[in-house]
Structure 1
């Protein structure tokens, strides 16, 4: 990794043709100017030494970039990979290819990093903030620009293979690039094709993740949708007997598990261990083609074109589907209903007070057991919530197939000897199809549970087969499993059409104190975005697909953007005492977003920067910018729907409402049945229901960013450079939703859960939470349980600040050549305020902390993070070692207040990994990893590379699976931040002609 000051030498050969330098963050081409903005550069050499396969892997190692959706995310991966600059969200930056936008992959306007042609990338520039006038008003946190190799001539073939020490996770990659100059060098054309394929790594294949563990209790945990079935709606038994408890003072309902041996529904229950089904590395297959060409029509005009095509297939694999607490009705004469369980159903208390009133008398219950069918006057049914894991169907698989193409054509040339023009247009489409398999349908559970015999359903349509929901694993027949399950599809299509015109150069004159002329750029852009989500009837029916987490509604939206902008770079002083140079940068952009079916957002953005070189060795720089981010299609057009959010503890769970009258009243006001008070459970698998959607009335976010820093290149130490920069970003009118912890705290206050004091049972912040009408919990059928309100608004605020340090050194030691690159990020603060206008007005600090609430934009943000590569060249052999470090983390203090302290104590018996060892899930120590690479350059044409990643096979920290958001806290750890795969071996061969 290099600083922006080192990139000029790195790419001197690429730019030798015109002796100008194109620096990410500026439209002005000038061989003698450097910008005031800090740029973090990752070179193609660093990519090769790391043996990175995808762009997301490259960026994951850059300090200051927070891991987002990528190959390590399984439950929550939508088939694409994204980048998150500074931890403020993957939707607040722009991903560029050679300084231009490419088609986004989703309704949020994000670019899928899987489509970047890594084989042809010369360098990757990450610029924080201050890019708004150059690339667009929505570059709030900055841009990531993938710069491809220019004027490539020859053949470059590379083959690579990777595998873990455990023998899984095989990764194959092959790339072929062919380029040539033609017509006496006036033109160049290049074609690059690639293929990649990776195998899954299952969590069951690692000792630390075979069993799920609860982050707060330290017990073996999992999902309440299990096997044997758990049911809600039966009355408890008198201890030690099979007699229903008729004490009217004992709470009704509750959740109990059926014992297949006795047919009794007991209050004790076991969770389902879903870990072995989940994966740490998603299976991935990609075919990609990238081609570009340029031709000098005349001395004044050059035409150019670029085309990108990519087809990606990603599978996410999670535990089997089932009935996830869905409401079902079953007849009492059903052949699969045990007699003891039938008695419990009949003894259910229908009264809401202390009097005991059974659902059916013993005589009615006995007669119903022998009824012949619905026409029999003795026929009776019972309705209850069923949680039954359909292991017989197999794991749930979501297959995402993405097809992307993006084509650009343009012309550029010279107006005068110092002024150039560039006009280009592009169009791209992304088509992503999610085909989900092995999901059971709730409507078919309901149909299959109404049967008079074991072969025929009462409503015998669609090939219905009666189902035994109360037996052990394997009790659902193959025919019944086939009837229960079905496949479903959802398609997301996006398009981006754009036209861009830029005139740049210098004005032909300079300021009085300088000789270098003033540079300028003027431009205009037009962009047209469209996006559509189309789902079949199964995907868009709430609660139909068991365990899908909510419906996928049909969505369509579009908007157009018109922009005009200008920049100047003005040298003010040169070669004066204490002013080797003083340069001013400034720019402004006007943006108009016209929303189909909505209004128009008009905004100005601007930047101003200053760089000062008092002497040759030192440069001081600073930059201030104002940015805006207009709402994207998902935020504008998504209908209100119910899905899932992360929530480990429910204040209404357990005995707390029985001793706190105010809390009891609040829980009932939220929809909890009176009879469930005292027996409500925490959300299963730490996932509660959440309801939210888009809003056409959303206004743009506003942001201010500023940086200040210095670059030191001492003449007394040739080959050394050091840059230090402070960054500060503040986003107001933030488009977002409150976290689950914010919603709970806004109603129940803190501390929680034992000392809860809710504002009022009539407070809208409380009554907006809607509970399961049967269990009283916050999870269950999304058709009836809306859960937490997490609607989008402009009420939030985001802030972050930090320091970046980049140091590079190269020297000939005599026996070897040594190059060293060090990149460090110190995150000072990162805060989120869900609603600055609410009574709960506080900034949630997340730097150095982990919790479900501190996953509001991505994964963890450590306080300190660095990456240090040292490479020694011994003739034809390069030996390189990379040291990656992140500082310690701990449980978010507000999570401790609102939920509970993380578990401290011995790991439970049966866990296997470090069993019995004392742990603290509330703290993670500092982590260090080392990667070793050996590269042998046989000759100018042939290179062999061998690498060992995670050289010392360091295990990730174990913190349980319920202390963070489901996407990033998985397999008892945070696999996007910490290496969950273990030691890996990589080999590759590269042939160049």
Structure 2
């Protein structure tokens, strides 16, 4: 039979190990010393002890408590949740803020991350058994999809500055996956899940084999797994099948659709305006009888398709009494497919030949009627009627009557289907080392590791801008430029006018973007206990010293198509990026029992640490820089029932490769409202005509004078933004402190209560400003002399902030050291277990978080110090609720467990709620039956039920019903927040969008 470690799995073992398990739980909750796992088959008189990694310290003495609080996800919790990947598991921890994961569709780059405390997914470190794993991409983040959960025994989450112990990036903390040790036997897991709607199937197959070597001198483990999940489309849920406008609740969508090809946005003016073709009252050239918004929701997903193979192998062997050799290797291969609405032309500049074969006389007349100077007050058409008629009859572009019109094109490629990006990734991390003892009180450890991640993004279904521009310059004899097999395209007809032949030419082909990241490291440490003691303690000074070297290199290499920015709707070009850096570090930690077994202190322990780091950036123009981090901690147990703990830490985060080396590039950001704009995404003019200084600023930013009063709002709530790295960046600094209490009253055996206040502040934060900050910096003091205004670039055609990324730079969103971040709150937990009868055990645990504040300021002393707790908008990306908790209750019998988990998220509201210039809908949204207030999300409660049954001694079945009462997510409408998190009229990374779902897992051990 397989030997298993971690929390006991069933009542048969739990009744024997209640005391030991409660102790282990208390230690893990306290972050106290080395925790020991127990053999589930052992009697209490014969317990197999195996040392496990301590999170938060390099010192491994199992008898001394630490001052840093650690949250723990146990094996039982992983069993009950039946999460397929680690990101799903961590998202449920109170105080964690959802980051990029499977629920994110538009913006998912094929990776999943953790965001501790909401201060950024790039401000924490992912560890395996206390050791860094190689990152997966240029921001230095580790893809959680690569963690093989089959070999994970528990997950420790330490929040707050941990840079002293683990190096830079651990500003928000660390997530430490602890693996099974000395596993002997075979364990096979098979799991299947589906929603009540019959979609979103998930499958997981894993087999783990372990064996002891040479009469226990060593051990080897091999684990192989496969995971797969199917797509869940937003169109398959009633609340998300329509794109709902957050301001009025109507079913709408994007102004870029197939039914309403639009050319230009400037309305002809003049006394005879009403007599112009198409009525002259529209704010663009709509080639259809009426405007029809494009509903893009059905194409998007709530569960991104995912396919992964993973292999984990480890071995250790004692080559002498005092020396052990060990190794570990992980390999993962995965495909993540993101699906979004069809490509097209998104306000791109084009030139239309007036003899185009698909252009009707009325449409040609509409082009000819464009006012050459709307601001002049005297209507002057672009071409006279005679010139227009002659141009329509021109044979080719050499005909003297040939005429063209410069305009913009807005048209969705519905005929060509959705845009698809397949992210194919491979990742490995290999480690080998030696460790041993020197005498009875000193341990040493030296290891080296190398990891590499490779990802290829294949983009399909995109129109090429150069191709539709080529196709619009056509005449009765075909394209004027016949290269590439050009076919004239019918942009002037209804849906279906773009034929397969046209689409084959316009789409061109696939594009490829390759990302590569390498990390190598060599780490050595020496730890032990010295004879030095204080007069009031019996245990001596514990210490650890070490040195590290790490080297990072990364690149993004794009094919010519991706570099060119020629893909319509791809959000801009993807330039090549190369960079790297290396760091040498020295670290020392001490832990000293100051008082032990005294009347006023059963134990008083002091700990401290310091780390020096020296960085070299792989660029001749970049100077070296160094950092020093340190920590102090105190743990005081005045009586056996009470422990008080506190820490203070100075942490740093060095700039990552993207922040240093990314070339200047224009892409997309979120912006709902442009102060210069007058026309919404559906072509409706609100009557706003900027005057005075505001008008001057709009024109100075590149808007044509004639466009004033007709400038469009950002298309689909997305404006252009120009981003870029900065080789002058320096490390950001963070101060964090915690103070907490642990209660374990002897009068109530099995009860543990913890509460910890945390406070994290980041100065000189490396960041880019939010779109709202850029707009406020200019338009709160609108002036052509304001540098914040001159940094914004507008379309020279319609004056908007959307359009061709090669022409419209949009908002200035460059990276700098000018910001600051801060957050504080309280974590708490209560756990209790008791035997109700000889055959029934009750275990309860509630863990929660109250976040008092979470602020972000893009430019210290200038930008708004924005509060985001309990708020959502384009400026506050993901939702961080003020209060959240998980409360699990489990009844255990001889052969089965019944467990119910209650997940609670407090209410939230729109950041601009109450702003009369930014109305929010409240009522019954179109095509739905229940009332909804898009300005608030009420308190949200979900319940999950699990049953675990031991069918045979070596066969266990676990069934889980997630979202037991089929609770739908609260609705916020679309466009109210950032695209990556506000999707499907809600926030799918925060709230459950799949509905009730069922999963079953079979575990076989032998």
Higher deviation after alignment, 732-741 or 645-654 = 645-654
1:539 is aligned, of 558, 562, 567, to 562
SS of match in other structure, 2:478: coil
Separation (CA, whole Å) in 2 of partners of 1:234 and 1:778: 15
Which residue pairs with 2:176 in the alignment? 145
The structure-2 alpha-carbon separation of the partners of 1:239 and 1:102, relative to structure 1 and needing over 3 Å to count, comes to farther
Which residue pairs with 1:301 in the alignment? 323
Which residue pairs with 2:346 in the alignment? 324
Which residue pairs with 2:435 in the alignment? 412
Offset, 1:132: 1.5
Q: TM-score, normalised by structure 1?
A: 0.94
Pairing of 1:751-766 with structure 2 (within 5 A): 758-766=781-789
The structure-2 alpha-carbon separation of the partners of 1:11 and 1:224, relative to structure 1 and needing over 3 Å to count, comes to farther
Which residue pairs with 1:348 in the alignment? 370
Give structure 2 stretches of 5+ with no counterpart. Answer: 1-6, 8-24, 41-46, 679-685
2:66 equivalent to 1:35: yes
SS of match in other structure, 2:526: strand
2:981 equivalent to 1:968: yes
Separation (CA, whole Å) in 1 of partners of 2:437 and 2:650: 32
Which residue pairs with 1:937 in the alignment? 950
SS of match in other structure, 1:32: coil
The structure-2 alpha-carbon separation of the partners of 1:239 and 1:433, relative to structure 1 and needing over 3 Å to count, comes to farther
Q: TM-score, normalised by structure 2?
A: 0.93
Which residue pairs with 2:115 in the alignment? 84
Offset, 1:29: 1.1
2:772 equivalent to 1:741: yes
Offset, 1:4: 4.6
Which residue pairs with 1:628 in the alignment? 652
Offset, 1:363: 1.1
The structure-2 alpha-carbon separation of the partners of 1:847 and 1:526, relative to structure 1 and needing over 3 Å to count, comes to same
Which residue pairs with 1:607 in the alignment? 631
Separation (CA, whole Å) in 1 of partners of 2:916 and 2:459: 36
The structure-2 alpha-carbon separation of the partners of 1:105 and 1:201, relative to structure 1 and needing over 3 Å to count, comes to same
Residues 230-273 of structure 1, C-alpha deviations (whole Å, 9 max, x = no match) = 221565599999832899xx99x9433211x6xxxxxx633211
Which residue pairs with 1:906 in the alignment? 924
Separation (CA, whole Å) in 1 of partners of 2:672 and 2:293: 15
Residues 643-686 of structure 1, C-alpha deviations (whole Å, 9 max, x = no match) = 11111111112256526423222211211111111122211111
The structure-2 alpha-carbon separation of the partners of 1:307 and 1:55, relative to structure 1 and needing over 3 Å to count, comes to same
The structure-2 alpha-carbon separation of the partners of 1:153 and 1:936, relative to structure 1 and needing over 3 Å to count, comes to same
- Asked whether the equivalents of residues 237 and 244 of structure 1 are also in contact (C-alpha less than 8 Å), the reply is no
Which residue pairs with 2:10 in the alignment? none
Which residue pairs with 2:703 in the alignment? 672
Offset, 1:902: 2.1
Separation (CA, whole Å) in 1 of partners of 2:883 and 2:747: 30
Separation (CA, whole Å) in 1 of partners of 2:357 and 2:440: 91
Separation (CA, whole Å) in 2 of partners of 1:630 and 1:679: 45
2:634 equivalent to 1:581: no
Separation (CA, whole Å) in 2 of partners of 1:650 and 1:828: 32
1:230 is aligned, of 245, 256, 262, to 262
- Asked whether the equivalents of residues 350 and 357 of structure 1 are also in contact (C-alpha less than 8 Å), the reply is yes
Which residue pairs with 2:536 in the alignment? 513
Offset, 1:12: 2.6
SS of match in other structure, 2:145: helix
Residues 430-451 of structure 1, C-alpha deviations (whole Å, 9 max, x = no match) = 0010001011100000111122
Offset, 1:509: 3.0
1:503 is aligned, of 497, 522, 526, to 526
2:37 equivalent to 1:12: yes
Kindly report the root-mean-square deviation, in angstroms, between the aligned alpha carbons of the 2 structures.
Answer: 2.0
Residues 740-795 of structure 1, C-alpha deviations (whole Å, 9 max, x = no match) = 1111111112xxxxxxxx43133111121111111111111111111111111111
SS of match in other structure, 1:746: helix
2:980 equivalent to 1:956: no
Offset, 1:940: 2.7
Offset, 1:906: 3.5
SS of match in other structure, 1:667: helix
1:255 is aligned, of 268, 272, 284, to 284
Separation (CA, whole Å) in 1 of partners of 2:143 and 2:724: 23
Higher deviation after alignment, 355-364 or 880-889 = 355-364
Which residue pairs with 1:339 in the alignment? 361
2:487 equivalent to 1:465: yes
- Asked whether the equivalents of residues 35 and 51 of structure 2 are also in contact (C-alpha less than 8 Å), the reply is no
SS of match in other structure, 1:88: coil
Separation (CA, whole Å) in 1 of partners of 2:276 and 2:115: 56
1:797 is aligned, of 820, 824, 830, to 820
1:205 is aligned, of 236, 261, 266, to 236
Offset, 1:18: 6.9
- Asked whether the equivalents of residues 277 and 395 of structure 1 are also in contact (C-alpha less than 8 Å), the reply is yes
- Asked whether the equivalents of residues 235 and 344 of structure 1 are also in contact (C-alpha less than 8 Å), the reply is no
2:463 equivalent to 1:440: yes
Residues 372-426 of structure 1, C-alpha deviations (whole Å, 9 max, x = no match) = 0011111111111001101111100000011001100001000121100000000
Which residue pairs with 2:908 in the alignment? 889
Offset, 1:737: 1.1
Which residue pairs with 1:695 in the alignment? 726
SS of match in other structure, 2:79: helix
SS of match in other structure, 1:938: strand
The structure-2 alpha-carbon separation of the partners of 1:766 and 1:687, relative to structure 1 and needing over 3 Å to count, comes to same
Offset, 1:22: 3.1
SS of match in other structure, 1:747: helix
2:474 is aligned, of 442, 451, 468, to 451
Offset, 1:687: 0.6
SS of match in other structure, 1:862: coil
Separation (CA, whole Å) in 2 of partners of 1:321 and 1:84: 31
SS of match in other structure, 2:97: coil
Separation (CA, whole Å) in 1 of partners of 2:169 and 2:386: 71
2:185 equivalent to 1:186: no
- Asked whether the equivalents of residues 193 and 288 of structure 1 are also in contact (C-alpha less than 8 Å), the reply is yes
Offset, 1:913: 2.3
Separation (CA, whole Å) in 2 of partners of 1:777 and 1:853: 20
2:808 is aligned, of 785, 801, 816, to 785
Separation (CA, whole Å) in 2 of partners of 1:326 and 1:961: 24
Separation (CA, whole Å) in 2 of partners of 1:86 and 1:899: 32
- Asked whether the equivalents of residues 237 and 245 of structure 1 are also in contact (C-alpha less than 8 Å), the reply is no
The structure-2 alpha-carbon separation of the partners of 1:451 and 1:950, relative to structure 1 and needing over 3 Å to count, comes to same
Offset, 1:904: 2.5
Offset, 1:17: 6.9
The structure-2 alpha-carbon separation of the partners of 1:241 and 1:347, relative to structure 1 and needing over 3 Å to count, comes to closer
Residues 483-502 of structure 1, C-alpha deviations (whole Å, 9 max, x = no match) = 11121010100000000001
SS of match in other structure, 1:579: coil
Offset, 1:821: 1.5
SS of match in other structure, 1:258: coil
2:387 is aligned, of 357, 361, 364, to 364
SS of match in other structure, 2:948: strand
- Asked whether the equivalents of residues 56 and 113 of structure 1 are also in contact (C-alpha less than 8 Å), the reply is yes
Separation (CA, whole Å) in 2 of partners of 1:37 and 1:899: 47
The structure-2 alpha-carbon separation of the partners of 1:769 and 1:588, relative to structure 1 and needing over 3 Å to count, comes to same
2:124 is aligned, of 93, 105, 120, to 93
Which residue pairs with 1:265 in the alignment? none
- Asked whether the equivalents of residues 936 and 944 of structure 1 are also in contact (C-alpha less than 8 Å), the reply is yes
- Asked whether the equivalents of residues 238 and 245 of structure 1 are also in contact (C-alpha less than 8 Å), the reply is no
Separation (CA, whole Å) in 2 of partners of 1:982 and 1:154: 38
Separation (CA, whole Å) in 2 of partners of 1:898 and 1:231: 32
The structure-2 alpha-carbon separation of the partners of 1:240 and 1:205, relative to structure 1 and needing over 3 Å to count, comes to farther
Which residue pairs with 2:665 in the alignment? 641
- Asked whether the equivalents of residues 795 and 801 of structure 2 are also in contact (C-alpha less than 8 Å), the reply is yes
Offset, 1:13: 2.6
